[in-house]
Amino acid sequence: MDACTDQPDQTPPPRGLWLPLITPFRDGALDAASLRRLIAHYARAPLDGLILGATTGEGLTLDEDELERLVMLTADALAASGRRLPVYLGLSGSDTRKLTKALQRTARWPVDGVLIACPYYTRPSQQGIVLHFEAAADASARPILIYNIPYRTGVNLHNEAMLRLAERANIVGVKDCCADPAQTAELLRLRPPGFAVLTGEDALAFDALSRGCDGAILASAHLETEAFAAMMHRLQAGDRLGGTTEWQRLADLPKLLFAEPSPAPIKHALWRRGLIDSPEVRLPMTPVSAPLAAALDARLWPGRSAA
C-alpha cells in the first residue's frame, strides 16, 4: 500500500497539544509563502500534531483544488523542516454520500487521519449520526477523529452513540466541544482503551485537562504555544499547582482571540508577528475591529504602541 494511504494501526491515537492551523490567504488566493513560514515555525514548537482545513482553517471556504494544495504544501514544508508531525485533515458535511466520496478522493493525500464533525444544520437523530460515521469508517481506513460541537452543528452526539462508534477500529477519538462537563466526565470514565478524548474548548482547556483529557486541540495555541504545552504537560504529570500557574498567564488569551469570530483575531496576531503576510479572511468572516486589534496588540506586546 502507498505510504500516503491509510494505515491506522501504524498511527497512534492523537494525544497532546494539536494546532488547528489557520489557512493564510492573500489577494483572494492561498498564500503559499506564508503557509511555508507557518509550518517552519510550528515544526519547531512543542506541538503533537496539526489539523488542516477545519473551522479555524476556514475549510468551508476552500475548494477541492485549494484543499489539495494546502495538504501538499504542508507535507513539503514539514519534510523540509525535518519534523515528523502528524497531520489530520478536516472533512465534514451533512451529506453522507458526499463525505464518503471526499474520503475516497483524498485517500492518497499525505495526511495521517481525518477530523469529521457531526452533520450540521440537518440535526439528524443519534442513529443517523452513528450511521454517518460508520459510513465514513467504511469508506476510509484512516484514523477518524469525531468532532462533537453541538453549538455549531445543532446536534450533540451523546455518549451512548459515541461509545458505539468507539468500537470501530479506525474511529480513534473525539475533539470534545460538547460544553457539558458531566458528559465529558462520563465519557472519560466509560471510553474503551485507546479512544482519545481531546478538548477543543480553548477557554475551558485547563478544566478539561484537569479532568483527564488526553490532550487539546486549541486555536489559541497559535500564540504562546510553549506556555500552552507547559500547562498541559504539568497537569498530565500531576503538577496541578504548576499547571495553574501556567494557565493564569494564558486564561485571558482565548477570551481575546474569540471576542470576535475566529480566525480573524488569530490571523491579525500572526500578521502582526510577521508569520503571515496578510490577516485576510474569506467572507462571511470579516477582519477584526480596530478596538480588538488594539487590545490584541496590547496583550501580545505590553508597553509597546501599535504600529
| Domain annotation covers residue 235 | yes
| Domain annotation covers residue 270 | no
What is the structure's pLDDT at 9?
A: 45
Mean model confidence pLDDT for the chain: 94
Q: What is the mean pLDDT of residues 232-237?
A: 96
| Domain annotation covers residue 240 | yes
175: annotated active-site residue? yes
Asked if residue 233 has pLDDT above 90, the reply is yes
Query: How many domains in the chain?
Result: 1
What is the structure's pLDDT at 209?
A: 97
Residues near 38 by beta carbon (within 8 Å), at least 6 away in sequence? 21, 22, 24, 270, 275, 276
Asked if residue 2 has pLDDT above 60, the reply is no
Model confidence over 102-133: pLDDT tens digits? 999 999 999 999 999 999 999 999 999 999 99
CATH number, domain of 145, equals 3.20.20.70
What is the structure's pLDDT at 72?
A: 98
What is the structure's pLDDT at 63?
A: 96
Under a CB-based contact definition with an 8 Å cutoff, are residues 4 and 140 in contact? Answer: no
Q: What is the mean pLDDT of residues 42-57?
A: 98
Q: What pTM did the predictor assign?
A: 0.94
Which of the following is catalytic: 42, 88, 121, 147?
147
| Domain annotation covers residue 180 | yes
| Domain annotation covers residue 297 | no
What is the structure's pLDDT at 306?
A: 46
Query: How far is 4 from 56, CA to CA, in rounded Å?
Result: 24
255: annotated active-site residue? no
Which structural domain, as residue segments, surrounds residue 42?
8-245
Map grid coordinates 499525505 to a residue.
110
Which of the following is catalytic: 88, 175, 255, 267?
175
Asked if residue 297 has pLDDT above 70, the reply is yes
